[in-house]
Structure 1
Amino acid sequence: MRCFALLVPVTLTALLWAFSATAHHGWNWAESEQTEMTGTITEIYIGPPHPRLMIETEHGPWQVDLGNPRQTRDAGFVEGEAAVGDLVLIRGHRSNNKDEHIIKAVRATIDDRVYTFYPSLLREDQ
Structure 2
Amino acid sequence: MPRRHFLLALLVGALLVLSPALAHHGWTGGETIELTGTITAVRLGNPHGEVTLDVKGEAWTVEVGQPWRNTRAGLAEGDLAEGVELRVSGEHAGERLLKAEQLWIGEEHHVLYPDRI
Q: Report the TM-score, using the length of structure 2 for normalisation.
A: 0.75
Provide runs of 4+ in structure 1 moved above 3 Å.
17-23
Match of 2:101 among 73, 91, 106: 106
- Provide, for residues 80-102 of structure 1, a one-character-per-residue CA deviation record: whole Å limited to 9, x for no partner: 1232111110100001x4xx211
Structure 2 distance, partners of 1:59, 1:24, is 27
Which residue number in structure 2 is paired with residue 60 of structure 1?
Answer: 58
Shift in Å, 1:25: 0.4
> Conserved in 2, the CA contact under 8 Å of 1:64 and 1:103?
yes
Which residue number in structure 1 is paired with residue 25 of structure 2?
Answer: 25
**Structure 2: which 5+ residue stretches go unaligned?**
1-12
> Conserved in 2, the CA contact under 8 Å of 1:46 and 1:79?
no
Which residue number in structure 2 is paired with residue 42 of structure 1?
Answer: 40
Structure 1 distance, partners of 2:55, 2:70, is 22
Amino acid corresponding to residue 87 of structure 2 in structure 1: L
- Pick closer, same or farther for the CA change 1:59–1:24 going to 2, 3 Å: farther
- Provide, for residues 15-56 of structure 1, a one-character-per-residue CA deviation record: whole Å limited to 9, x for no partner: 5x755544420102x50x311111110112221110121101
Amino acid corresponding to residue 101 of structure 2 in structure 1: V
Identical columns (%):
33
Structure number having the greater helix percentage: 2
Amino acid corresponding to residue 106 of structure 2 in structure 1: D
Q: Report the TM-score, using the length of structure 1 for normalisation.
A: 0.71
- Over aligned residue pairs, what C-alpha RMSD do you find? 2.3
Q: Secondary structure at the match of 1:72?
A: helix
Shift in Å, 1:107: 0.6
Which residue number in structure 2 is paired with residue 81 of structure 1?
Answer: 79
Shift in Å, 1:120: 2.1
Q: Secondary structure at the match of 2:103?
A: strand
